Amino acid sequence: MSLNAVERRLLDIRDAWTSFTGDPGKRLLVWEMPSSSYRLAECFFEAQKFEVEYATQDLCIVFKEPFEHSIQYARALKQVLAGSYATSRADIESEGIPADWSLPPDEFPDSAYGFVQAVRSFGSRHHQHFNHLAAILMPTEVSDEAAFAGWLARALAAKLPERLRIVVLDPAEAPRLASLSGDGDPRVRHEHLALDVLAVAQETFAQERVAGPAGAFRNMLMALVSLVEKGRVEEVRSKAADAYAFAGSQGWSDQQAAVAILVAGAQLKEQRHDEAIATYRIADDAAKRAAEAGNPAGRQLAIQAKLGEAGAHLGAARPADAAHSYDDAAELALAIPDLIIAVEALRMAAFCRARMEDRDGAIVRGRQALQIGNRLRPEVRNITSLPIAASDLMNVLDPQRAERIKALRGDAEKQSASLLAETETRIAGLERTTGRDAFDAVERDLAVADVAIWREAEGLLQDVVAGGGADFQQDFDTARALLGFAWPLGAGAAEAFALTVDAPGASS
């Protein structure tokens, strides 16, 4: 039976993996790849549990916990290791293997060394059932790249045995472990893994044939998407013409809109603003036809086309035309309603009005964005563009005062980062310390000092706001009520005040 596109990539990953594990001098693998390819790599790690062609008889344990600071990270990894083993006991015993390993919370320190010892403890109990044991680190967030690299260096210094390996995935679009890979340590292997998920999708669709027009168009569209990523505009337009005409022959106006939006995006990449505008208008016409025919995708595609047109106008230094297009997009979004897109469209309309020195127009749209933001669920607001819209409104109302607020945030972030760096230095001296007291003291000191930084920043912020005009104060209070302490000082402030009951301004 022939392998599919995903399985062929998993074989490629296996070859790279066995090259690493086959080198007895290596302990740490930094695998640099596009973050869009992470899922493929994770599939490979998970597949090691099964009898498949790309299995290696190695045991890979994936850890996705975020890195906040070194103590938290080590503790979280140990908890996941113990927890995943506990939930797998029945499966282990079903294979006739005694599931009698355990990891008491305080058996090893909350450090990189402690985590390595915990993994070694597990490995020593079950070593006869695998070739290599690998800890795969895929943190969802990293608060400080230098601190994370330092944690990895200390893990490497814990003298891993040959059969124990650590693997870290590093995003190719924003590598964060160059310092670790570039120090010439012979135990570290840095490798760029070229995994093109778009090519995988294209090959999959080509291999899994769908009969009829839908299958033919799907292949056309995938080829077009691939060409947009790598080809020139002329090539994209030629390929798109066939797909657009085919979709039209089938009465698929929504797909015609999608094709036109792809072409316009390729034109924008080459700074062909007027061509992109014309193409976005073609997409808009097709989207309207789809909406009139009762296709629910039509209205969303019309919004995309209008936002694209606005962006092209802005790229061509025509803020007035862009403002009108953003207004149109906001109106379309509110009609659905798509409140998140409406907020973004109004934010950009306000931005364009400010560029035109239309202060009143910018204020009106900024306030509209806040009003719509009030209709969003509280937990959603801070992950939309609403915080930026609020800050932009403050900047229009009083540019100097808004700049002072921005500087306050920057200063507090620098102080918080410096505090974390000092704390990480202190943590590095605790690698083999037994008992929790020393680690708890460091975490307590970090929390207290960080809260003090943000409390001071909040106090200064309130002074700045109090000195502003009535409109400035009123709109600030509206935005703060919507966004909480995460605005305008950022997530650091929100996290710090979450630790205190008597945070400044909490009663307002």
Give the residue-averaged pLDDT of 435-459: 95
Does position 53 have pLDDT exceeding 60, yes or no?
Answer: yes
Q: Is the pTM of this model over 0.85?
A: yes
Q: Using CA atoms in the order 238, 243, 245, 246, what is the torsion angle rounded to 10 degrees?
A: 150
Q: How confident is the model at residue 504 (pLDDT cuts 50, 70, 90)?
A: very low
Strands 164-171 and 28-33: parallel
Dist. CA 504–CA 508, nearest whole Å? 9
Amino acid identity for residue 210 in this structure = V
Residues in Cβ contact with 291 at an 8 Å cutoff, skipping those fewer than 6 apart: 298, 299, 302
Topology of the domain comprising 5-195:
Rossmann fold (3.40.50)
The predicted structure's pLDDT at residue 182: 62
The predicted structure's pLDDT at residue 6: 86
* CA nearest to 53, candidates 44, 65, 62: 44
Does position 508 have pLDDT exceeding 60, yes or no?
Answer: no
Cβ(66)–Cβ(140) under 8 Å? Answer: yes
Dist. CA 167–CA 138, nearest whole Å? 9
Render 401-448 in DSSP notation, one character per residue.
Answer: HHHHHHHHHHHHHHHHHHHHHHHHHHHHTTTT--SSHHHHHHHHHHHH
The predicted structure's pLDDT at residue 499: 64
Angle among Cα 22, 153, 41 to the nearest 5 degrees reads: 50
Dist. CA 266–CA 261, nearest whole Å? 9
* CA nearest to 458, candidates 434, 429, 428, 494: 494
Q: How confident is the model at residue 503 (pLDDT cuts 50, 70, 90)?
A: very low
Dist. CA 308–CA 466, nearest whole Å? 40
- Where are any strands of DSSP class E within 176-247? 188-192
Dist. CA 444–CA 247, nearest whole Å? 62
**Which of 24-38, 42-56, 326-340 has the largest mean confidence?**
326-340
488 half-sphere exposure, CB direction, 13 A CA radius: 29
The predicted structure's pLDDT at residue 506: 37
Q: What are phi and psi of 80, to 5 degrees?
A: -65, -40
Does position 20 have pLDDT exceeding 70, yes or no?
Answer: yes
* CA nearest to 112, candidates 66, 162, 151: 151
Spell out the domain ranges in the chain: 5-195, 209-295, 318-397, 400-498
pLDDT digits (tens, 9 = 90+) for 450-494: 999 999 999 999 999 999 999 999 999 999 999 999 999 998 888
The predicted structure's pLDDT at residue 501: 39
Cβ(62)–Cβ(103) under 8 Å? Answer: no
Residue in the block written with tokens 């990894």: 77
The predicted structure's pLDDT at residue 178: 78
Q: How confident is the model at residue 183 (pLDDT cuts 50, 70, 90)?
A: low
Cβ(290)–Cβ(257) under 8 Å? Answer: yes
Least confident of 3-12, 73-82, 340-349, 352-361: 3-12
Q: Of all helices (H) and strands (E), which one includes residue 379? A: helix 378-381
Cβ(467)–Cβ(398) under 8 Å? Answer: no
Q: Where are the alpha helices (H) located in 127-163, listed in sequence order? A: 145-156
Q: In Å, how far are 131, 148, 284, 341, 348 from 138, measured between CA atoms?
A: 22, 12, 41, 31, 35
SS3 316: coil
Residue 483 CB neighbour total at 10 angstroms = 21
pLDDT digits (tens, 9 = 90+) for 239-283: 999 999 999 999 999 999 999 999 999 999 999 999 999 999 999
